[in-house]
Amino acid sequence: MSWSTTLKNRETIRAHIDAKEKIAVMFSDIRGFTSYTARRGDQAAYNLSKTHDSLLREQIDRENGIVVKTMGDGIMAAFADLSSAVHAAVAIHRAVREPGAEHPKELVDIGIGLASGTPIMTDADLIGHSVNLSQRVCSVAKGGQILVTEEFAHDVTLPDDCHLLRLGKRKLKGLDNIALYEVEWIGELARLSDQDDMFNLILTERGTLAIELAKNIQANIDNAVVQLGSKVMNEDFSSLLQRGIAKFTQAIVTKALAASGIEREQPIDEVDISVDDDEVTVHIGSKPIRLNGVDPSRARAFRDKVIEARSRLREQRANQT
């Protein structure tokens, strides 16, 4: 985008604020960035952050937004129009997950938070409650999620193929419990979450299983990876990793997605799910992920829907041949 267009968008946003009209504030950050830096080094991490920055800028520019500032593994952006902010957020996630996209596989995913308000706008920053709120909302978004506040949800028009899912109230750092909504953008058929909302497994309309991790569980994985330095993934590593994150959540991922090479979205033909009491094991090839603290009845219902979707997909393929 040309500098003149960026300046025009900035002036439009400032005019909205001056008129006491709400604007959209977006925060986004990379999940798994710390562990990626520890494994690949500073230069690779810098290259990844530049890729992230370029991808987000492209989608933000298309929706007439501006990047207010970058923060290494994240950005803050603003939009005069709330609906444009959602369109940009959806486009960002779809670009990240697009097959063949030129992004390192270690880019676990991006979490996005959106809030609305009339912050103070300086030459280089935005300041105010809506800024703090957007950042806090982003902090609880799982990789692949777009979370918005209730006020934002009531004022926005979604893309035709997206829907709002009410999540209820969440405790945000330094703030009261805030009602949040998720923008469902992936074509969701069913989801399975643990009781502490640390992870989601999502069955999609396009015949894939999407894996979403909460930021705090990913952060604990990152910390374990950093502490272990350059040690390879083996049984000792897995044991140490479990002990490091078990203190914080009942949803224990016995192999870190970023460290084990498991990608964030898998064809359901390559996935098997087994349920044993409150433990769900997702087999992706030879790489199992075990998730504890899951409601058994919901887990079995989700597994049955995956099996049904897999059968339907194979039947469609057979009819096409």
Of the chain, the end-to-end C-alpha distance in Å amounts to: 45
Phi/psi of residue 165, nearest 5 degrees: -115, 120
Residue 254 has pLDDT above 50, yes or no: no
Residue at token pair 């945000």 = 172
Confidence at residue 319, expressed as pLDDT on a 0 to 100 scale = 80
Distance CA 40, CA 192 (A): 32
DSSP string computed for 202-266:
EEETTSEEEEEE-HHHHHHHHHHHHHHTT--SSHHHHHHHHHHHHTT-S---SS-HHHHT--SEE
Kindly indicate the confidence band of residue 34, based on its pLDDT and cuts at 50, 70 and 90. Answer: confident
> Taking a C-beta distance cutoff of 8 angstroms, is the pair 189, 304 a contact?
no
Confidence at residue 101, expressed as pLDDT on a 0 to 100 scale = 53
> Taking a C-beta distance cutoff of 8 angstroms, is the pair 251, 278 a contact?
no
Query: For residue 241, which of 107, 280, 232, 141 has the smallest C-alpha distance?
Result: 232
Phi/psi of residue 173, nearest 5 degrees: -55, 125
Q: Pinpoint the residues of the chain covered by CATH 3.30.70.1230.
A: 3-185
Residue at token pair 């492209």 = 58
Question: In terms of residues, how long is the chain?
Answer: 321
- Tell me: the pLDDT tens digits for 284-300? 766 677 777 788 888 88
- Tell me: the pLDDT tens digits for 205-217? 878 888 777 765 5
For residue 282, the SS3 value is: strand
- Tell me: the pLDDT tens digits for 57-116? 999 999 999 999 998 788 999 999 999 999 999 999 988 877 555 555 555 578 999 999
Instruction: Give the burial string for 192-207 (b: 16+ CB within 10 Å, else e).
Output: bbbeeebbbbbbbeeb
CA dihedral 108, 109, 113, 114 (to 10 degrees): 170
CATH of domain 3-185: 3.30.70.1230
Confidence at residue 143, expressed as pLDDT on a 0 to 100 scale = 82
Cα 126 to its chain centre, rounded Å, is 23
Distance CA 183, CA 113 (A): 10
Task: Look at phi and psi of residue 78 and say left if phi exceeds 0, alpha if psi is from -120 to 50, else beta.
Answer: beta
- Tell me: the pLDDT tens digits for 152-197? 999 999 998 899 999 999 889 888 889 999 999 988 888 888 777 7
Instruction: State the pTM of this model.
Output: 0.74
Distance CA 315, CA 177 (A): 46
